Amino acid sequence: MSMQKGSTVKVLLGYEATFKTASADAFQLPVNTFGLKATRALNAAATLAGSRNPPMPFAGNKSTAGAIVVPVDSLALPYWLKAIFGAPGTTGAGPYVHEFKIGDVQPSLTLEAAFTDLATDKFSRFLGCKIGGFSLDVGGDGELVMTLNTVGADHSFQAAAFDASPTVVTLARVNNFQAAVTEGGSTLANAKLINLAVDFGLDTSQYVIGGAGSLGAIPEGTVKVSGRVQTLFEDTTLLDKGANLTESGLKITITGSASSIVEFEIPELFYEWSSPDVPGPQGLMVDMAFQGFYDNHAEASAIVARVTNGVASYA
Task: Quick: pLDDT tens for 115-124.
Answer: 988 988 899 9
| Reported confidence tier of residue 131, pLDDT bands at 50, 70, 90 | very high
**E strands, 16-164, in order:** 27-29, 33-34, 37-43, 58-71, 89-92, 96-101, 109-115, 122-138, 145-152, 154-158
- Averaged pLDDT, 35-55: 92
CA 139 – CA 127 distance, rounded (Å): 35
**Among 287, 290, 245, which Cα is nearest to 267's?**
290
Q: What is the pLDDT of residue 94?
A: 84
SS3 letters across 92-126:
ECCCEEEEEECCCCCCCEEEEEEECCCCCCEEEEE
Distances from the Cα of 274 to the Cα of 107, 140, 227, 308, angstroms: 38, 23, 14, 36
Q: Could you report the per-residue pLDDT of 179-207, keeping only the tens digit for each?
A: 999 999 999 999 999 999 999 999 999 99
Q: What is the pLDDT of residue 2?
A: 84
| Reported confidence tier of residue 1, pLDDT bands at 50, 70, 90 | low
DSSP-H helix ranges across 15-156: 77-85
Q: What is the pLDDT of residue 33?
A: 96
- Averaged pLDDT, 234-243: 93
- Averaged pLDDT, 95-107: 95
Q: What is the pLDDT of residue 275?
A: 87
Mean of the per-residue pLDDT values for the chain?
A: 94
Q: Could you report the per-residue pLDDT of 268-307, keeping only the tens digit for each?
A: 999 999 888 899 899 999 999 999 999 999 999 999 999 9
CA atoms within 13 A on the CB side of 232: 6
Other beta carbons within 10 angstroms of residue 254's beta carbon come to 22
CA atoms within 13 A on the CB side of 74: 26
